[in-house]
Chains A and B, each alone.
Chain A
Amino acid sequence: MNREAGFRSREERLRDLLTQGLAGDDAAYRVFLTELSAHLRAFLRRRLARLPDEVEDLVQESLLAIHNLRHTYEADQPLSAWVQAIARYKLVDLLRRRAAHEMLNDPLDEEMELFSTADSDAAEARRDLNKLLADLPDRFRLPIVHTKLEGLSVKEAADVSGMSESAIKIGVHRGLKALAAKIRGAL
């Protein structure tokens, strides 16, 4: 199989998985995100050769963005173009924020570089999303913890937290967006 045909078949496979996921098939959606994360990792690692520690954080940030923005994918568009535009946007955004950050702060990174880049760390995210999640206000945190970490249904989460079912749904949706905003602010 040549390179072009391999690309086409992966594009079709991932697009089918996403379409099923958007229609409510969570199992297909999991396969989609898992396979996509491998592609994202390779894509970002090639482009962040000098910042290997940032790769996994950016993979996670891109996955969260893709999840939050999955309603903007329309089936008439190549999936690869959509995913790449999101990943590239997040990459440029990271470099932009780092540049602004380094203008104001001495880059300590360079002095510590030697000891902080061991190979076994490469696949570990430096930023802990659990900590950022814990900092979210309750109206966002509780819906996410109950429905997405503990796996309760919307109704069960509403009973446990004393919130209404619609507040749970909105809380999950807005909470994941707030989490993405926190990531951007946490550099």
Chain B
Amino acid sequence: MKTDDLITMLVTGAGAVEAPPAAQRYALAIGWGAAGASLLMLLVLQVRHDLAQALLLPMFWVKVGFVTSLAVGSLFAALRLSRPGAVIDRVPIALGLPVLGIWAIAAFTLIDAEPLERSRLFFGDTWKSCPLLIAMLSVPVFAAVLHTMKDLAPTRPRLAGFAAGLLSGSVAAVIYCLHCPEMGAPFIGFWYLLGTLIPAGVGAVLGNSILRW
């Protein structure tokens, strides 16, 4: 087929593009994924029994604030990375700021604490299960976001997969906050982050094969 014939083929009946913008597609994917993750949380884990009291504690909102800002940062990264030629120089800032924020609070908490309390602030009661549960809850969002990203055009498939995984992990972590009894900033700055990095790592590996076009 000659190139002119290809152009004729592509143009014939092309018509107007009706696809919704990328931001709208991601919003839909996150909505469905978060609904799935919430259902999973209710079925497998249940809401923490003292949620009403926890809502009154500033630390609860620090925790929610950290994972929400990480979710916003990784959504920004995913949006940029799924459009060819988009500028991505602000992505590291968007992802780094929430992490540096929680680490600053964690450092302050650890310095302020009695030496014997420190390991408890770091390990809490649930360090063994927390990252794995966040990774488990991330599965619905992960699938929905990756499916959306596949329909767009990531030119850096590995990085894009990483961002998709981080997005799903941080959305899952927001939902996990409703179950998780831990309130220590050092715990959150490490184990929560680890939980979001599990799907991010899987995303980077998978992205390198399934996000190619």
Chain A contact residues, CB within 8 Å of chain B: 21-24, 26, 29-30, 33-34, 37, 56, 59-60, 63-65, 67-72, 74, 77-78, 81-86, 88-89, 93, 124-125, 128-130, 144, 147-149, 151, 153-154, 172, 176, 180-181, 184
Contact = CB atoms under 8 A, between A and B. Distances in A.
Q: Name the residue in B8, B82, B213 with the highest tally of chain A Cβ atoms < 10 Å from its Cβ.
A: B213
B76 to A, nearest CB: 15
Interface of B: 1-4, 6-17, 19, 21-22, 82-86, 152-153, 155, 212-213
A146 to B, nearest CB: 9
Contacts, number: 105
12 contacts: A26-B11, A37-B7, A60-B6, A64-B10, A67-B10, A67-B14, A72-B82, A72-B153, A78-B85, A82-B83, A125-B2, A176-B10
B10 A85 contact: no
Contacts of A93: 212
Nearest to A70: B17
Given A37-B7, A125-B1, A151 B85 contact: no
Contacts of B155: 85-86, 88-89
Contact of B11 (A23, A29, A64): A29
Contacts of A129: 1, 6
A77 B85 contact: yes
Nearest to B22: A72
Nearest to B2: A125
B14 A21 contact: yes
Nearest to A57: B3
A60 B13 CA distance: 19
B150 to A, nearest CB: 10
A147 B12 CA distance: 7
A64 B10 CA distance: 8
A30 B7 CA distance: 7
